[in-house]
Amino acid sequence: MLVLGIETTCDETAAAVVERHDDGQATILANVVLSQIAEHAAFGGVVPEIAARAHVEALDLVIATAMAEAGRDFGALDGVAAAAGPGLIGGVIVGLITAKVIALVHKKPLMAVNHLEAHALTVRLTDETPFPYCLFLASGGHTQIVAVRGVGDYVRLGTTRDDAIGEAFDKTAKLLGLGYPGGQRVEREAARGDPFRFNLPRPMLGRQDADFSLSGLKTALRLEAEKIAPLTHQDVADLCASFQLAVVEMVVDRLRHGLRIFRERFGVPCALVAAGGVAANDAIRKALLNLAAQEHVALMVPPPSLCTDNAAMIAWAGAERLAQGLCDGLDSSPRARWPLDQVGALLPGPRPHATVKADGAALSSHSSLVGDRRGGEPRDCGPKAPHTSISTIDPFRPAGEEDGVSSNTVPSAVA
């Protein structure tokens, strides 16, 4: 199954071609990422309007490059996937419309992929990790602990009450004059700093839930920096190291509780998985390795280049959905907000019209047939793989007709 993926939710314009083999293994044939860092650097962060325009200018060439690297033409694709949210809405519109046009012209199924779901499933692209697993998802906009039980079957166990971890790294970088993007720069400074010089708070430590909070840590860091301003290079490095250590200790504590809650609710996880840009941080990766050993669970983390935003993960999430018989109509809406645990949830309402065929034949005529269904909800694209999950089954089908599998069924490809 050959899928083109498109990613434009933030400041990377990316396209990738991924092949999903029948046994569940994957081959990345092309993975092109064009960063917009230069366009945004002068502003100290991503400017949504500039991002959207830069996606418009670059996307055609990025897609053409990916297709050329893969050595395939559009006709060879089995589907086209684009990140349909959550993200900066201008960029999301650019990527989703482009995918719709390719799908329409070449009569291919469209998969409107949730960007967070793509992060969540990346570890199956790299390592065929079986369900269920406990996911630590940490990016610029999200910090969550999630039970991943199947494609489209996500239960949030914990989340941040204020800032995301990536956001806290970015704000720390800005405060200390390190510029944008922040995460890698803070990590680099931390490597030469003293993590014990500043005694920063570890919010939420020891609480029985699996939630995060970053704002107190951020404020404490600012107060410490103000106390000793003007800052020397060593002060900056020590502040970064102290901040990173506080984050690492909080992450470990929160995940310990997250794993306990996972076991109480769902049994033993097949793995502890980290995903999202923050999972590229080496100190966090090492701490997770120790935690996993103590908790007797395997740790799976994609390589850093597949933790930060890329289109291979979008193509893969599209392929996983297509393998379940799921694709989306051309009426799918771009979404600025789209919580992961709402992915795959079908809204109540009239039954969507006929099955969309895997060759995409019915793709262009759906908007008038869907009643009050909102764009972006999954449709049946034809034959299903043996696995399905509770939130991806057709809710209009009479009970007892779920292909004889339950939400806990392990997909045959990874069993």
User: Which residue from 364, 379, 306, 278 is spatially nearest to 7, judged by alpha carbons?
Assistant: 306
Question: 6 or 297, CB closer to Zn ion?
Answer: 6
Taking CB atoms, the residue at the shortest distance from Zn ion is: 139
User: Which residue from 64, 63, 121 is spatially nearest to 326, judged by alpha carbons?
Assistant: 121
Shortest distance (Å) from residue 7 CB to ligand KG4: 9
Residue 137 amino acid letter: L
Shortest distance (Å) from residue 173 CB to ligand KG4: 7
Contact of residue 181 among Zn ion, ligand KG4, none (CB under 5-8 Å per partner type): ligand KG4
Query: HSE (CB half, 13 Å, CA atoms) of 277?
Result: 23
Determine how many CB atoms are found less than 10 A away from the CB of residue 22.
Answer: 10
Q: Pick the binder of Zn ion from 31, 129, 139, 213 (CB under 5 A).
A: 139
Question: 119 or 379, CB closer to Zn ion?
Answer: 119
Q: How far apart are CA 116 and CA 120, in angstroms?
A: 6
Q: What are the residues binding ligand KG4 (CB under 6 A)? A: 10, 139-141, 166-167, 169-170, 181-184, 187, 276-278, 280-281, 308-309
Find the part of the chain contacting Zn ion (CB under 5 A) among 19-27, 60-68, 125-133, 307-315. 307-315
Q: How far apart are CA 250 and CA 291, in angstroms?
A: 12
Q: How far apart are CA 92 and CA 309, in angstroms?
A: 13
Q: How far apart are CA 102 and CA 9, in angstroms?
A: 18
Contact of residue 183 among ligand KG4, Zn ion, none (CB under 5-8 Å per partner type): ligand KG4
Task: Work out whether 114 is an interface residue with Zn ion (CB under 5 A).
Answer: no
Task: Work out whether 122 is an interface residue with Zn ion (CB under 5 A).
Answer: no
CB 66 within 8 Å of CB 30? yes
Shortest distance (Å) from residue 108 CB to ligand KG4: 26
Shortest distance (Å) from residue 212 CB to ligand KG4: 14
Question: 98 or 172, CB closer to ligand KG4?
Answer: 172
Question: 64 or 336, CB closer to ligand KG4?
Answer: 336
Beta strands in 60-124 (DSSP E): 79-85, 110-114
CB 209 within 8 Å of CB 160? no
Question: 79 or 140, CB closer to ligand KG4?
Answer: 140
Contacts with Zn ion: how many residues (CB under 5 A)?
Answer: 2
Question: 211 or 309, CB closer to ligand KG4?
Answer: 309
Query: HSE (CB half, 13 Å, CA atoms) of 299?
Result: 20
Across-strand partners of 5?
Answer: 16, 81
Question: 141 or 411, CB closer to ligand KG4?
Answer: 141
| N-terminal to C-terminal alpha carbon distance within the chain | 20
Shortest distance (Å) from residue 370 CB to Zn ion: 29
Structure tokens at 69: 């690297």
Task: Work out whether 309 is an interface residue with Zn ion (CB under 5 A).
Answer: yes
Interface with Zn ion by CB under 5 A: which residues? 139, 309
